[in-house]
Amino acid sequence: MTGTTTLTGGSVYSFVVGGGGAAGAGSTTNGNNGSNSTGFGLTSIGGGGGGSNNTGSGNSGGSGGGNANNSTAGGAGTSGQGYAGGQNGGSGGGGGGAGAAGGTGVSNYNGMAGGVGLSSAITGSATYYAGGGIVTGKQIGRAHV
């Protein structure tokens, strides 16, 4: 999500920053989705958990989780918030990011990239936020929000 809001001095603004999802139990269950974040009346949906060796497909979420075990697409992202997770191509696909889909796995490759985040200068310096998880050791990355 992107946008601007004018703040009023002396006002109080409430935000909830959602946490990342927990890993799945062993190789038989997908990772858990992250929790939602809220602020200014908007909700950003938590990222989808990565796929397991048994189920393959990553979970849908704000950005989709990468696929672990077959050649179908990763979990879907939410329009206006994030992109799909990557497809398995011999090793797991990367998690989707706010700016691009996760990379497709390559046979016997241990470092598939997650999707790029979006740049923001909210702190005064341009920094990328909400990038997708990477694949390490043939394990699937989880999307981060």
Mean pLDDT lowest among 85-89, 101-105, 109-113: 109-113
pLDDT in tens, 13-59: 999 998 888 877 777 788 889 999 998 888 999 998 888 777 778 88
- Does position 140 have pLDDT exceeding 50, yes or no? no
The token pair at 43 is 């909700």
Rg for the chain (alpha carbons), in Å? 16
**Which among 52, 69, 58, 44 has a CA at the least distance from the CA of 114?**
58
pLDDT higher than 80, residue 126: yes
Q: Residue 108's pLDDT is what? A: 66
Amino acid identity of 92?
G
